[in-house]
A and B are shown apart, each in its own frame.
Chain A
Amino acid sequence: MNWEFIIKYLPLYQRAAILTVKIGVIGIVFAVLVGLVCAAVQYYKIPVARQITAVYIELSRNTPLLVQLFFLYYGFPKIGVRLSAEVCGVVGLAFLGGSYMAEAFRSGLEAVDDVQKESAFSLGLNSRQILGYVILPQALSTSVPALVANIIFLLKETSVFSAISLMDLMFTAKDLIGLYYKTTESLFLLVVFYLLILLPVSIVGTLLERRLRYAGFGD
């Protein structure tokens, strides 16, 4: 192990990690928003919009992120839409993540028993109160484990960004191997940096899940 090499190229990995986290976080925020909207559409069975979201969810869940990125980055310029690599990364993550998030929220919403709504209604709560005080708290806490899993999944998916020339962690490692042939050191740094990003998310997720278990009904 050549420590001099590791110290010399640490800043490069830092920059790549910041890019990975930045695009990852923005992409995930948009994915959550898309997911919420889609789940709401499905839950309230809004006509037409419901069919559209169903098509979107199937399309997005059954195509790889790499294919979606190629479409955005290499295909769209052919029809005159030129997006920067960063924007493509964010859009790609949001597109892929949106469907997974939608399914997570939907499963949470569907897990709330009808008897809960009926009881709340008979207690005199209006529909907004039922949503805010009865349905959402239970639905969200049910979907947290799936949400955390999705966030980790999406952060790991960023490793295919090298295909659209984004200098993320994976590409930085591959590039350094190509430039200086220091395979061991480059891969070591790669694993360490991915762990640095993902372990905290995983640990916070576990703590959050444990805390939210109190919100469940009847446990």
Chain B
Amino acid sequence: MKNLKKFLTLGLTAALTLALTACGQSAATSSAEGSQAAASSQASEAAEASAAEDTNAIYRTLDEIKESGTINIGVFSDKNPFGYVDENGEYQGYDVYFANRLAKNLGVEANFVSTEAANRIEYLQTGKVDVILANFTVTEERAQEVDFALPYMNVALGVVSRNDKVIDSLDNWNPDDSIIVISGTTAETYLTSNYPDIPLQKFDSYATAKEAFQNGTSVAWANDNTEVIAFSLQNEGYTVGIPSLGSADTIAPAVSKGNTTLLDWINEEIKTLGQENFFHADYEATLLDTYGSEYEDSLVVEGGETK
């Protein structure tokens, strides 16, 4: 009797483990067995959404979004001045300005969903949002998981450090020092593959990384150069010792893999908006206070055309 119970426990846990891990891949098939209560909420959600198509991809087409009257847009809520919540509780910033225009031109309400860097791809893949407009840098690896539209901003990596100990090179790194990065960003990927010996102190949100850097947890903070420049301009006592690191990249909207109707529409929008110099207006409305006009031409990508 005792042994039977033990085996039953083990068997159940094993089944639960499998059910939990399987639902990511074959959502449609796992809906049949409804016994695993813990796994079912995730699985059924996925199964529902994918019922329309036979593929694993879960997304809403352009028509479905129009019909529903709202578009779900994933943005940052703590990345001033690109995507943040202001004192009135409203989403603001360069990305949000663009997102509002997209929603307006589509004739639907914009429903903003707050994301963290590391879950941007998952949010698309699980259908939680239709578009990600969260300062999403285009990389080859990411392009295998999601579809990027035309770019609307230039970006590289940058490293900010304290004025009393400015770091201008990552060579000959003292292994006792660490660099702060945010989990799931290009800075993390770049440093992990190019400087594997530098200890990284990883945080899961902008707010906590900033707080920890200001508390003196690490000597430097590596992130998109736009972000670290903004940080050094907004806070006394910090210098961007390395303003440009790694390759020059772009930032673009992303949609679920295969969602061509939405992707094509966004691309057309970006081209049309280029004719009225929309992104320059966006810069002047949201970024001018932080960066001045100095960075306008180097940051803004108009009409999806990089120089």
Contact = CB atoms under 8 A, between A and B. Distances in A.
B11 to A, nearest CB: 13
B176 to A, nearest CB: 13
Interface in A58-73: 73
A184 B13 contact: no
B201 interface: yes
Interface stretch (B153-161, B203-211, B222-230): B203-211
Contacts of B117: 178
B20 A187 contact: yes
B145 interface: yes
A165 B25 contact: no
A117 interface: no
B183 A178 contact: yes
A195 B183 contact: no
Contacts of B204: 162-163, 171, 174
Given A82-B215, A191-B20, A179 B121 contact: no
B122 interface: yes
A184 B21 contact: yes
Interface residues of A, number: 28
B41 interface: no
B215 A178 contact: no
Contacts of A171: 183, 202, 204
Contacts of A74: 208, 211-212, 215
Interface in A163-184: 163-165, 167, 171, 174-175, 177-181, 183-184
B293 interface: no
B261 interface: no
Chain B binding site: helix, strand, loop or mixed by DSSP?
A: helix
Nearest to A188: B21
B13 A195 contact: yes
A77 interface: yes
Contacts of B13: 195, 199
A78 B121 CA distance: 35
A165 B188 contact: no
B151 to A, nearest CB: 21
B25 to A, nearest CB: 5
A192 interface: yes
B21 A178 contact: no
Interface string B1-41: 00000100000010001001100110000000000000000
A167 B204 CA distance: 11
Contacts of B258: none
Nearest to B117: A178
A207 to B, nearest CB: 10
A187 B24 contact: yes
A177 B192 contact: no
A178 B64 CA distance: 29
Nearest to B14: A195
Contacts of A175: 118, 183-184, 188, 202
Nearest to B21: A188
B119 A178 contact: yes
B202 A179 contact: no
B216 interface: yes
A164 B189 CA distance: 20
A161 B179 CA distance: 19
B141 A167 contact: no
Nearest to A183: B24
Given A177-B118, A191-B17, A195-B13, 19 more contacts: A74-B215, A82-B215, A165-B203, A165-B208, A165-B212, A167-B202, A171-B202, A175-B118, A175-B188, A177-B184, A178-B117, A179-B188, A179-B192, A183-B125, A184-B25, A191-B20, A191-B21, A199-B13, A203-B6
Q: Which 3 A-B pairs have the closest CB atoms?
A: A178-B184, A178-B118, A77-B215
5 contacts: A178-B185, A183-B24, A184-B24, A188-B21, A191-B21
